[in-house]
Amino acid sequence: MDLSYTPEQIAFRSEVRAWIEAAMPLHLKRKAEGPGHYEQAEVMEWHKILYAKGWIAPHWPQDVGGTGWNIAQRHIFGEELVRANAPQLSPFGLGMVGPLLIQYGNDAQKKRFLPKILSGEEVWCQGYSEPNAGSDLASLQLHADKDGDDYILNGQKTWTTNAQYAHWIFVLARTNAGGKKQEGITFILADVRNTPGITVKPFLTTGGTDAFSETWFQNARVPQSNRVGPENGGWTMAKALLGHERTLIGGIAESRRWLRLCKRIAAATAVGSSSLLEDVEFRRRIARLEMRLRSLEMVQLRTLAAAQLGRAPGPESSILKLVGTDVEQEITELCMDGMGHDALGWLDSPPEALPEVERGVASLFNYLRAASIYGGSNEIQRNIIAKQILRLPTA
Amino acid sequence: MNFDLSEEQQILVDSVAKYVKNDSPVERFRKQRDSERGYELEAWSRMGEMGWLGVAFPEEHGGFGGSFADLALILEQLGRGLVPEPMIASVVLAGGLLSRLGSADQRKAFLDPMIEGRTTLAFAYGERQGRYHLHECATRAERRAAGFAISGEKVWVLNGHAADHIVVVARTSGAQSDAAGLSLFVVDANAQGLTRTRVPTMDGQRCGLLRFENVTVGADRLLGAEGSALAHIEWAIDRGAAAACAEGQGAVQELFERTVAYLKERKQFEVPIGSFQALQHRAADMYAETELCRSSMILAAIEADDDDEEMRKREISTAKLQLGRGGWYVMENAIQLFGGIGVTDEQDEGLFFKRLRVLQALFGDADWHADRFQRLPHFATQD
């Protein structure tokens, strides 16, 4: 066991910090002062800056575009991005379908898709959930029927986050209606913008933003060469991908941001002639959450260190999702508490009524109610832990 | 960055685990609950022979030059069997201070025999009015011609009822609540004027209530510099907290595993109760808390050796809070899931529950550590 930083790693941190400081455009830095809600164009602008530097996919193998950094360097890099409150990149390409293609894709698919995920030319979204297949994902109904060299897709996906910005979607489709429902699912890539029959419709969330979409497929024709892995073999890959997703969507790095935001809000919130950051009881509440987050960061580091040694993220990554989203929600609730009567404000409250640092906090707080639901609800995560780790019997 | 145990650490863990399984299962502790001392000198000397008492001391101090993390790994395994010998009092607290501050003569007289398992030590610091505040000290050491005369009272002294030598905190100057003016002395158990009352504790162990009435010690019993002991006391108590997290982790892990096994075996309504989703979800939350405890404990054990005082305090407070909240969640639910038998003395579950509750109350509880955390300088820097 050795968790200390070497002089090289400390120098690496300085290098990363200096680079971010120099590379981040002024208008993004101004946004970083607030809750850090960035528009899609701004996220992609930052994506391309990282890509140009060669730092877009530190977690990918070096021969397909990774940085070749070790776990400590990746951790340091992540910490510095959070420290700068830089835009968070979309996880669907870099974090999900990319690693999946690296593991299961054929050479043609890797050559076709990976470079454009890295460059940001192609944005991805995820077609998993359906109106009648939420927690029971394997009961999905969107079906892909063979026709010559193509599949014809019919059905509906929902919660397709950022589909309105996406060029491509990865879809779980039913290719066999008989037998065990998990065994009739195929993993297919579809061009959202150039496939007749695919329609995307964003909807408003309670956060006041259109983070999610619904996506319809009506006789959408997709070449069979866009299938990843074998026909009816999609479920294994879907689960592997959910494993990758769970290491990301615990929002642990984000919680670090919200925690800093919480302290900034408290420092800016006047209580008589003092500030809320002087209030011992409020400080203790922040401290308890910061300490819990710290423990969770260590669980994450242990998971990452295991991954570095070639062990795939196992079911224990469920903890990151389960506790991580809980902490994320608690911290944003504490931000709201810290705002006091400013918590009445909304995205369109005028600046003279709502300070900039607090704008978007209420939206974030509302949006993050989804955190304990998406990526497999926290109840599903508990089922996974109970069955796959603790091996408790089924009813 | 590497979380895997080194080969030496793995060998150490395996040998302690084997000892607990074969020679010190919970039944041995049960027998000691009725004894006067509360533990066995024979077991202690065996630990000395096996080298466990000296693991974390430098080689030039008679130890093996290992890290605090090595010691934490031992404590974690001992926690699984509720091993009652006074590792924390003797090795971590008093031993740690003797190694850090002692002269060659003092180490030879008090540290060496302890490392060999021939004697045990105690650290007497807490007072009635002090709660967890380490600077609170009404006990005084007055200068005498040949040395010092110590008068005062120390409460809940771990191994204070049985130790051969006691490191005691006494004020050589200043008022009761001053940070400056604290000094450390080594007092023999049979010193004239020292009264020791054996105090049974909730977890079936014992500690001491110590009264010093003009206990005279020579100047050679002053440990470290006169009047500036507070930082060293804080250091020792922090390591005590890290040690409590390590031992507590063993207890939490053990009881968690026993609970999961019970969920698979106990049947009601003709099925194993572990098939009920309400209980499965509780078990899943217990698993998450156990892992959080383990992660924070590892970091705390590593930081216990850090010269950076703020880093040490941050990580140790984090682990102690996690043990006190998350570890406690595991304990409470374990008892609940065992049902009625969980509250019988005949079953082991309650013993783990009580031991963890005692560890929670030692070296600063969860609230105290949360409060200390928010007072650290880094807290307001927002980084």
pLDDT digits (tens, 9 = 90+) for A135-186: 889 999 999 999 999 999 999 999 888 899 999 999 999 999 888 999 999 9
How would CATH label the architecture of B231-381?
Answer: Up-down Bundle (1.20)
> Which residues in chain B show pLDDT less than 70?
1-2, 382-383
Please give the structure tokens belonging to residue A212: 């999610």
Residue pair B97/B223 in contact (Cβ under 8 Å)? The answer is: yes
Residue pair B52/B16 in contact (Cβ under 8 Å)? The answer is: yes
Judging contacts by C-beta atoms under 8 Å, the chain B residues touching residue A3 are: 1-3, 299, 302
Number of H helices, E strands in chain B: 14, 10
Q: Is the dihedral of CA A252, A256, A261, A266 positive or negative?
A: positive
CATH 3.90.1300.10 fits B123-227, yes or no: no
Q: What is the pLDDT of residue A314?
A: 67
Whether the complex's predicted ipTM is more than 0.90 is answered with yes
Residue pair B31/B66 in contact (Cβ under 8 Å)? The answer is: no
Asked if the model's pLDDT at residue A238 lies above 70, the reply is yes
**A window 148-187, beta carbon within 8 A of B:** none
Instruction: Characterise B272 by phi-psi region: left (phi > 0), alpha (psi -120 to 50), beta (else).
Output: beta
Residues of chain B with CATH 1.10.540.10: 7-119
Distance CA(A394)–CA(B350), nearest Å, equals 28
Distance CA(A139)–CA(B222), nearest Å, equals 75
Contact A393 B271 (CB under 8 A): yes
3-state secondary structure (DSSP) of residue B80: helix
A319 touches chain B (CB under 8 A): yes
Judged on CB neighbours under 10 Å (0-12, 13-18, 19+), B12 is: buried
Residues of chain B with CATH 1.20.140.10: 231-381
* CATH topology classification for A123-234: Butyryl-CoA Dehydrogenase, subunit A; domain 2 (2.40.110)
Residue pair A126/A172 in contact (Cβ under 8 Å)? The answer is: no
**Best residue in B256, B267, B277, B291 for a mutation probing chain A (most A CBs within 10 Å):** B291
Residue among A296, A305, A387 whose CB faces B3 most closely: A305
Q: What is the C-alpha end-to-end distance of chain B, expressed in Å?
A: 22
Q: What is the pLDDT of residue A302?
A: 83
In the chain, the amino acid numbered A83 is R
Taking the CA of residue B355 as centre, how many other CA atoms within 13 Å lie in the half-sphere pointing to its CB?
29
Distance CA(B140)–CA(B157), nearest Å, equals 17
Report the CATH superfamily, name and number, of domain A249-389: Butyryl-CoA Dehydrogenase, subunit A, domain 3 (1.20.140.10)
Q: What is the pLDDT of residue B268?
A: 96
Distance CA(B24)–CA(B81), nearest Å, equals 7
Q: How distant is the Cα of B92 from the closest Cα of chain A, in angstroms?
A: 20
**Best residue in A295, A303, A326, A384 for a mutation probing chain B (most B CBs within 10 Å):** A295
Residue of B nearest to A262 (CA): B382
- Domains of chain A, by residue range, sit at 7-89, 123-234, 249-389
Please give the structure tokens belonging to residue B237: 């108590």
Residue pair A105/A112 in contact (Cβ under 8 Å)? The answer is: no
A112 touches chain B (CB under 8 A): no
Contact A284 B370 (CB under 8 A): yes
Which residues of A participate in catalysis according to the annotation?
245
Residue of B nearest to A257 (CA): B383
A287 touches chain B (CB under 8 A): yes
A301 touches chain B (CB under 8 A): yes
Q: How confident is the model over A58-111, as pLDDT tens digits?
A: 989 999 999 999 878 888 898 899 889 899 998 899 989 999 999 999 999 999
Helix (H) or strand (E) holding B14: helix B7-22
Distance CA(A256)–CA(A294), nearest Å, equals 9
CATH 2.30.42.10 fits B7-119, yes or no: no
DSSP secondary structure code for residue A92 in this structure: I
Q: How far is CA A162 from the centre of its chain?
A: 11
Asked if the model's pLDDT at residue A202 lies above 70, the reply is yes
pLDDT band for A31, please (50, 70, 90 cuts). confident
A393 touches chain B (CB under 8 A): yes
SS (H, E, C) A148-216: CCEEEEEEEEECCCCHHHCCEEEEEEECCCCCCHHHHEEEEEEECCCCCCEEEEEECCCCCCCCEEEEE
Distance CA(B372)–CA(B354), nearest Å, equals 25
Residue among B272, B277, B373 whose CB faces A291 most closely: B373
Tokens 């000094």 belong to which residue? Answer: B183
Distance CA(B47)–CA(B84), nearest Å, equals 12
Q: How large a percentage of chain A has pLDDT more than 90?
A: 67
Q: How confident is the model over B143-165, as pLDDT tens digits?
A: 998 899 999 999 999 999 999 99
